[in-house]
Structure 1
Amino acid sequence: MRIALVDSGLGLLAASAALRRMRPDADLVLSTDPGGMPWGPRSTESITARALGCARAAAAEEPDALVVACNTASVHALPALRAEFEPAVPVIGTVPAVKPAAATAGPFAVWATPATTGSPYQRRLIEEFAHGVPAVEVPCHGLAEAVERADEAAVTAAVKAAAALTPQETAAVVLGCTHYELVSARIRDHIREATGRAVTLFGSAEAVAAQALRRIGRPAAPDAPGRGGLRFFADGRPAELPRAALAYAEGRFLRGPGATP
């Protein structure tokens, strides 16, 4: 079993780690576009072209499924990716976890990139699932880029700025960019500091991983013997897992025992 994941950068680590936990025996192929990251400010045409480039590099490894582990690419490039690879290879997109957050019936916020915040796509998600539950969109300036660089100071500054924009009555926060899941503990701490209350965070990694396994008819088997392989591509070429990835628990977990930042 081989599953490929594509993203502009390290945001795919969260879904990759979730897949590794669910199926330790699965081979994973991670394909990124550091030369084009971030994708958010780009046009639909540019995002689609770059996502296709990442996907084609991964597809050469003959995966059983292709996960688009990026909210931006899922919005703009999913139709083109499915047109090229399905039905031979199922393509699984990433959707912000607005629905489960709204189901808590408490006020919630959606943290997303500035390009996604206020977009028709995100507004439709909120309108479809919020059902009157108070919701606010919070732009997270520079957070994805800071996470990509593993720049601790920049991450802290971006998280504090977004937390300051989050209403005090917020009960849940949707992490609307896959990069944000890598710093979820810091997000939770800074929101508690800013609002004076604990909040529930909703990411998409676990749901995306589970959907990928469903699409290929392979149930989760966390006790499966063996350890699947890991291949990493950057700008369409084989590469080592970036050092910045080892700043995060997900990256160290994927790299295996002995991995250090």
Structure 2
Amino acid sequence: MTVALIDSGLGSLPTAARLRRARPDLDLQLHLDPDGAPWGPKPVEWTVRRVVDTARRAVDGGAAVVVLPCNTASVVALAETRSALGPSVPVVGTVPAIKPAARDCRTIAVWATAATTASSYQAALVQQFAADADVTAVACHGLADAIDRGDTDAVSAAILSAAERTPAHTEAIVLGCTHYPLVAGEIMASLPPAVRMYDSADAVAAQTLRQVDAVDVPPGAGALSVFLSGRPGSLPPQALSFEAGRVLAGAGADPLSARRTALR
């Protein structure tokens, strides 16, 4: 069983790592797009073509389930991807965890990219699920790009800026970009101890596993394949800066290599 995860950068790592821990037998395809990243500022039509073409390549390469662990891809291309692949291939999208945050808390800050923060999509989610809450939109300028580059100084600066613009009375923050869980520890350290964090990776992984269980395909062998703008490749070195990347790097290796990865 092969699951393909599609994101322009490292945003697929949190969900992929959760899938690896839950189901080590799954074969995973990670589709990154260094040639086209970031997708957020691109025209919608361009992004739709990019995502749909990548999904088709993934299915041609054996993927039985396709995941879009990327807010931009889910917002602009989820419906088109489902239409292009047809009913026999489940496609799992991503929704920022505004609903569970609003269920538990009254004051919420949504940390997201500038494009997502300004989108009608996020505004609609807030209106639908958090209309009775006090919600602040916090644009984390440059954070996703800094994560993709592995630029720790820029990551810290972006987090500090976002924390300074988060109201002091905030009870919860929602990570509205799938890259951000990779630096969740540093984000939490920048905020008061009582603040609660919500992200979508667990929910996306759980929905993916439900779709996997519903598809009649033989088990896999726990392989990891990486494609960079359609070309076979390997995990970018900066992925190993994050726990999720190290989990994936060790998954398909021989036991000795996996142990060495864990010890670094």
d(CA) in 2 for partners of 1:70 and 1:249?
19
Alignment-derived partner of residue 14 in structure 1: 14
Query: Of the candidates 242, 255, 259, which is equivalent to residue 249 of structure 2?
Result: 255
- State TM-score, norm by structure 1: 0.92
2:35 equivalent in structure 1: 35
Q: 1:105, CA displacement in angstroms?
A: 2.7
Q: Which residue of 1 aligns with 2:158?
A: 158
Determine the structure 2 residue equivalent to 1:222.
Answer: none
Within 5 Å, give how 1:26-65 maps onto structure 2.
Answer: 26-65=26-65
Find the counterpart in structure 2 of residue 213 from structure 1: 209
Q: Report the alpha carbon displacement of residue 5 of structure 1 after superposing the two structures with TM.
A: 0.4
Instruction: Report Cα offsets for 1:102-136 as digits up to 9, x if no partner.
Output: 01133011001001113111001001111311111
* 1:186 aligned partner: 186
Residue in structure 2 matching 1:238, options 208, 232, 250: 232
How much does 1:86 deviate?
A: 2.4
On the 8 A contact 1:29/1:230 being kept in 2, the answer is yes
What secondary structure, in the 3-state scheme, does the structure 1 residue paired with 2:114 have?
coil
Aligned to 1:57, the other structure's residue is in SS state helix
The answer as to whether partners of 1:57 and 1:237 remain within 8 angstroms in 2 is: no
Percent identity over the alignment?
A: 49
- 1:60 Cα shift? 2.3
* Number of aligned positions between the proteins: 252
What CA RMSD, in Å, does the superposition of the two structures yield over aligned residues? 1.7
List per-residue Cα deviations over 1:27-75 (Å, max 9, x = no partner): 1011111111111111110111111232233222211210001001100
Indicate conservation of the 8 Å contact 1:138/1:162, yes or no. Answer: yes
Which runs of 5 or more residues in structure 2 are unaligned? 251-257
1:131-142 equivalence runs, <5 A: 131-142=131-142
Q: Which has the higher helix share?
A: 2
Bigger shift: 138-147 or 41-50?
41-50
Moved over 4 A (4+): none
Residue equivalent to 2:130: 130
CA distance in structure 2 between the partners assigned to 1:93 and 1:26 by the alignment: 19
Q: What TM-score, normalized by structure 2, do the two folds share?
A: 0.91
